[in-house]
Amino acid sequence: MSSRPRYPHIVSSQITPEPVWRSRRLWMQQMAGLAAGTGLGGLGAILPGSAAADTLPAIAGLQANPEYAAAKIDRKLTTEKDVTSYNNFYEFGTGKGDPLDYAGKMRTSPWQVQVSGEVEKPRTFDLDELLKLAPQEERVYRLRCVEAWSMVIPWVGYPLSALLKQVQPTSKAKFVQFITDMQPEAMPGLRDRIIPWPYREGLRIDEAMHPLTLLTFGLYGKRLPNQNGAPLRIIVPWKYGFKSGKSIVKIVLSETMPQTSWVAIAPSEYGFYGNVNPDVPHPRWSQSHERVIGGGFFDPKVPTLKFNGYGEQVASLYSGMDLRANY
Amino acid sequence: MFESIKSSRGATSLRSGPPARRRWTAAQVGRVKPVVFLLCLLPFLRWFYLGYNDGLTANPVEFITRSSGFWTLAMLLLTLAVTPIRQLLDQPALVRVRRMLGLFAFFYVVLHLLTWVVLDRNMDISSMITDVLDRTFIFLGMAAFLLMLPLALTSTQGWMRRLGRNWTRLHKCIYAIGVLGIVHFWLMRAGKNDFSEPILYGTLLAILLLWRIARAWRARRLAAA
């Protein structure tokens, strides 16, 4: 056994060998654990807990989708550092820096996703299977948070419809629910009762099947860092960020509208649709403008676009609907 | 009857007995004022340090807004703590740092307001009016600021003399300002159900206010005896 070579003889110079990144990642996780354990959570900012970007593996076979190239968006890409250090992932705490500081302990392998409910072929998928289910594309999308800030992010993934087609939704499948993993030993936020855990989000079936809706495995050409929802998440670019569940373990198709976390907590502040809409203010702030992350300190906020700029592709999904009532 | 005798005797023994500790003179407290000044300025200087070291997070405007809000509350609580500390330590001269602490609360609230006016609202008057009228937490924050304004303006010796007894009455507004500040912060956090910080500062404020109520009751009872 010991004579078996540990490394392949030919390694693409682009790719860090798996044992190396695994051990690096483990070391990083241990450092993050140490930092958290000694109450020096701030150390995480110096020793990024979950994923110094260079330790994450690249996604094989990745092709940029020219339809969603960076050049098509009139705004600069948000830096990888900002994308991976300013996150809402309440399982790790409500601070924007908490996910970076604490998500390193989350176990992301092995990982399975159970797809059930109104489907002809309910199935549990292994992550490796999902990674290869459809060609991986890079797509640059705007991300608009309900808290009135925004980023521009090069995601990697493929349309969620590719997965849903595999399980064959029945005629009764009207909605799709996404459930985030719960790992009490790794997620200090689960001890706070801010949200009735696990985190749940959902879409109408036509929204879930829409070609913009991305089953997402990476960003900036590499696998997702833990704080961004590793190993796979949903990205729905025309909706506020909270609709795009992270670290998904279950997908349930149903006939009735599923319960979603923010609607359960504060129905007057968050609706099931969560479509980006500058005309419908949040009760505690206006949604008409947004702070562009990475802009200059004195840069003014910029106007928010209806459907986050994706109206041409998605407005027809809501024709005849009162978007003020269905926010 | 018995109780009032006991407490008045206690008070007498404090006054006539050997002094438990030496009282600091006004001049002695005056000499530490520059140190207090620098300490109160540190949070402000820290923003520049963080700014030059890429430490203001991905959203520096949000960071400054929250930090200036926090330090406004902290300075308000410190200002309100001066009287109880003077009484507990029997060091009346400590009153000499109170105005500075109060003015630092005003300094941080002005910066807090400016981040909102300039960086959040982009100097757009109509959007500011909408914000104040439509959003309770901003309305309360604005009310607290407007109440602080006359206190800052009348903080000089000249105004103290001119207003006489009314100066003390006017400056009792700080209690209302403290309560408004806590409710403002509470409502801001309400959406995330995350009340740990507002509860902490609210409890501190309650202790500082209850201390005064308890003292006033005792004084009234002594006066009645």
The DSSP output letter for A282 is: B
Partner residues linked to A112 by β-bridges: A126
In chain A, what residues touch B188 (CB-CB under 8 Å)? 284
Closest Cα in chain A to B59: A293
pLDDT band at B4 (very low <50, low <70, confident <90, very high): very low
Cβ–Cβ gap A297/B61 under 8 Å: yes
**B59 vs A: CB within 8 A:** yes
Cβ–Cβ gap A265/B135 under 8 Å: no
Instruction: Indicate whether A23 belongs to any domain.
Output: no
Cβ–Cβ gap A149/B122 under 8 Å: no
Instruction: Indicate whether A57 belongs to any domain.
Output: no
> In this complex, which of A86, A94, A266 lies closest to B59 when CB atoms are compared?
A86
ipTM score here?
Answer: 0.80
Place of tokens 């000694």: A38
* Nearest CA among B22, B6, B61 for reference residue A148: B61
Query: Percentage of chain A with pLDDT > 70?
Result: 83
Whole-number pLDDT of residue B19: 56
**A301 vs B: CB within 8 A:** yes
Instruction: Indicate whether A85 belongs to any domain.
Output: yes
Q: Which amino acid is at A123?
A: R
pLDDT band at A102 (very low <50, low <70, confident <90, very high): very high
Cβ–Cβ gap A96/B57 under 8 Å: yes
Q: Other C-beta atoms within 10 Å of B136: how many?
A: 15
Does an H or E element contain A37, and which?
helix A18-37
Distance from C-alpha of A147 to C-alpha of A291, rounded to nearest angstrom: 9
pLDDT at B146 over 80: yes
Give the three-state DSSP class for A182. coil
Distance from C-alpha of A271 to C-alpha of A325, rounded to nearest angstrom: 9
Whole-number pLDDT of residue B194: 79
pLDDT band at B191 (very low <50, low <70, confident <90, very high): confident
Instruction: Indicate whether A37 belongs to any domain.
Output: no
Distance between A273 CA and the closest CA of chain B, angstroms: 18
The interaxial angle of helices B60-89 and B98-114, nearest 10 deg, is 160
Question: What are the tens digits of pLDDT across the range A112-152?
Answer: 999 999 999 999 999 999 999 999 999 999 999 999 999 99
Range of the domain at A311: 63-318
Closest Cα in chain B to A299: B119
pTM: 0.82
**Which residue ranges form the domains of chain B, and what is each CATH number?**
31-224 (1.20.120)
Instruction: Indicate whether A3 belongs to any domain.
Output: no
Cβ–Cβ gap A301/B122 under 8 Å: yes
Give the three-state DSSP class for A268. coil
Q: Other C-beta atoms within 10 Å of B177: how many?
A: 23
Instruction: Indicate whether A199 belongs to any domain.
Output: yes
Q: Other C-beta atoms within 10 Å of A316: how many?
A: 9
Question: What are the tens digits of pLDDT across the range A4-55?
Answer: 444 444 434 344 444 444 444 544 444 444 444 333 333 333 344 444 556 8
**B12 vs A: CB within 8 A:** no
* Nearest CA among B190, B191, B68 for reference residue A145: B191
Whole-number pLDDT of residue A193: 81
Mean pLDDT score of chain A:
87
Closest Cα in chain B to A298: B119
For residues A178-194, average pLDDT: 94
Distance from C-alpha of A24 to C-alpha of B17, rounded to nearest angstrom: 70
Instruction: Indicate whether A239 belongs to any domain.
Output: yes
Query: How many domains does chain A fold into?
Result: 1
Distance from C-alpha of B38 to C-alpha of B67, rounded to nearest angstrom: 17
Q: Which residue of B70, B111, B135 to mutate against A (max A Cβ within 10 Å)?
A: B135
Residue A275 belongs to a domain with what CATH number? 3.90.420.10
Q: In whole angstroms, how far apart are CA A148 and each of A240, A289, B96?
A: 9, 7, 44
Instruction: Indicate whether A101 belongs to any domain.
Output: yes
Question: What are the tens digits of pLDDT across the range B58-116?
Answer: 999 999 999 999 999 999 999 999 999 999 999 999 999 999 999 999 999 999 999 99
Distance from C-alpha of A252 to C-alpha of A258, rounded to nearest angstrom: 9
Closest Cα in chain B to A290: B120
